[in-house]
Amino acid sequence: MLVSSRITSISPKMTIIKSLSNMTFLAIALCLSSAITQAARFNVTNTCPFTVWAAAVPGGPSGGKQLNSGESWAIDVAAGSQNARIWARTGCSFDESGRGRCDTGDCGGLLECQEHGTPPNTLAEYSLDQLNSSNSDFFYISLMEGFNVKMEFSPTSDGCPRGITCNADIIQQCPSELRTQGGCNNPCTAFKTDKYCCNSGSCRPTGYSNFFKNKCPDAFTYPKDDSLFMNCPGGTNYKVVFCP
């Protein structure tokens, strides 16, 4: 996946830096790079008519929370976080120590996730402050681990393009061979073959990936999907809404 990169103007700083010694260069470079990376706040809201157990890796500070219908959860994510994700778990029960299990999205039986969930789970994925894309964030919705809950993923700060929504009734229409308790599996999860998982390089859309694509055109549906993903300036805040 490629990000269009716009080169920001850093030439005045570079001129100054060049006139300094190597040690000073290093110190200033470190200061600059930490000064331009910024944390982000994610407001996660459950507007589904049922309870979900929201999950976030990395968390901020915790990695999971029960969200009854109408409830929200604010997560603060560290600057520079990469390959980060937020998702909903369904059909969970936890004991008082926060151990239990979920039908979808379960993360090793913990209420407060420290690792990714078990498919199927609709994913809000993002990376913050990518220096190779002009220090911008990027984000997208992925169905590459299947679908469990409808989702919106949008910036709440100015200076960004639109958000992304996957609001189709994918569970109802899920092909029976992909259907599972509480969700609809991606064919890679269900069949684990190269045709769907693209392990050996090239692969093409399939009937199954087209099923997901037709329902949610803006979501990633298979590994070589060239869906656009969204760029925002570093420091942008976001919302993730379940059942928008």
Ligand X SMILES: *[C@@H]1O[C@H](CO)[C@@H](O)[C@H](O)[C@H]1NC(C)=O
Using CB under 6 A, list all residues that contact ligand X.
3, 43, 45, 72, 74, 130, 132-133, 138
For the CB of residue 113, give the shortest distance to ligand X in the complex, in Å: 20
Distance CA 147, CA 127 (A): 21
Report the residue number, 38 or 118, with the smaller CB distance to ligand X.
38
Structure tokens at 207: 């009937």
For the CB of residue 60, give the shortest distance to ligand X in the complex, in Å: 12
For the CB of residue 43, give the shortest distance to ligand X in the complex, in Å: 4
Report the residue number, 16 or 74, with the smaller CB distance to ligand X.
74
For the CB of residue 230, give the shortest distance to ligand X in the complex, in Å: 11
Structure tokens at 87: 């998702």
Distance CA 167, CA 70 (A): 17
Distance CA 143, CA 183 (A): 11
Query: Which residues is 90 bridged to in the sheet?
Result: 104
Nearest to 46 by CA among 71, 14, 73: 71
Report the residue number, 3 or 198, with the smaller CB distance to ligand X.
3
For the CB of residue 137, give the shortest distance to ligand X in the complex, in Å: 9
Tell me the residue nearest to ligand X as measured from the CB: 43
Distance CA 195, CA 215 (A): 21
DSSP annotation of 183 reads: E
Report the residue number, 38 or 130, with the smaller CB distance to ligand X.
130
Report the residue number, 34 or 173, with the smaller CB distance to ligand X.
34
CB 122 within 8 A of CB 148: yes
DSSP annotation of 215 reads: H
